[in-house]
Amino acid sequence: MTRAPARGFTLLEVMVALAILGVGIVTIMQLFSGSLQVQDRAARQMRAVLYAREAMDRMLFDAGPDDPFWKICGREDRLAGGLVRRIECHEGDCDGEAPRDRDKDHDKDHDKDTESDYTLWCLRVNVTWQDGRGDKTYSITSMRIAEPKDAL
């Protein structure tokens, strides 16, 4: 009696095939996990940009005396998603020195009749959030010309 050749897979072949399949599935899962982390990071950064732009636009294009831009200066808001927005503004340029202090010699020669009642203001919005790699910050700085705060 002769035996018919065995058909099917041996246990060793099945184990090797499952190991290869397992490595492939783990690799694909890591790719999906990484893409979700990148998407989450990008979404937080996009929200930070939108919150900063909203505050800056409000300061640059305020409604006027009823809603002056300096009313929101110095504010710190805790926003959705763990974002913190800090709004800063001060009279003078953004380097920290007042424009008139820089040009003292020019001011001496300057006629009093041509001086303006307006002041240069530095506006800055910082949005900070916690990321897996540390603190991240998005900043916008701009300048605007307006009446001094005590004149408004």
* pLDDT score recorded for residue 125: 95
* pLDDT score recorded for residue 22: 96
- In the predicted model, residues of the chain with pLDDT beneath 70 are 1, 63-67, 96-115, 148-152
pTM more than 0.85 = no
Q: Which of 147, 151, 94 is nearest to 125 (CA)?
A: 94
Residue 137 three-state SS: strand
**What contacts 118, CB < 8 A, 6 or more positions away?**
145, 146, 147
- Domain positions in the chain: 11-151
